[in-house]
Structure 1
């Protein structure tokens, strides 16, 4: 038998992008009465891109330094349950949520503010 492919399926990615889109709508909608359409969508976009950038940067760190972290944990005798694969999945989720959030903020900005 072959090992199961650990990469996320298209449905999994779509689910996390959808959750990020929902967050983008909620944040922009919550800010709209106080800040107006332009500032609400700009702020929502900034938060989405911040989450996206953090996810990409930390995912890269988990890929690059995952074996080193595992070696340090085994050397120190730590039993935190941290694994390279778990860290990659967690930061990939942050990346996809941030992408959905930022994309929705862009769409809302075009829709409500214009080009």
Structure 2
């Protein structure tokens, strides 16, 4: 195990990280990967990382959040202000197994609804 001081990383550190890690390709094990995205008009969206297991996602140097395939939630909310018209960069730190793609969706995938009923005696 190695400690990663993610709370201390600057946007420049996030940008440089993929070039310091082993080449990350589809189906690769742990590591960094980047995706370039061109946006005509920024809008709220949801990001899915199908096939990826567990890790972190940055958008234009901003840590959007963590993802994990065991939870019911399958998408991360990406608010419009984090995107800019033109080129955007998504950086992924996958801790187990990198998936084949990054998908932008118009709806969240939050998993099945559950009902919890607590009874009192």
Higher strand residue share: 2
Higher helix residue share: 1
Question: Could you say whether these structures have the same fold, taking a TM-score greater than 0.5 normalized by the shorter chain as the test?
Answer: no
Which of the five TM-score ranges fits, normalised by the shorter chain?
Answer: under 0.3
Q: Which has the higher contact order (CA 8 A, sep 6+)?
A: 1
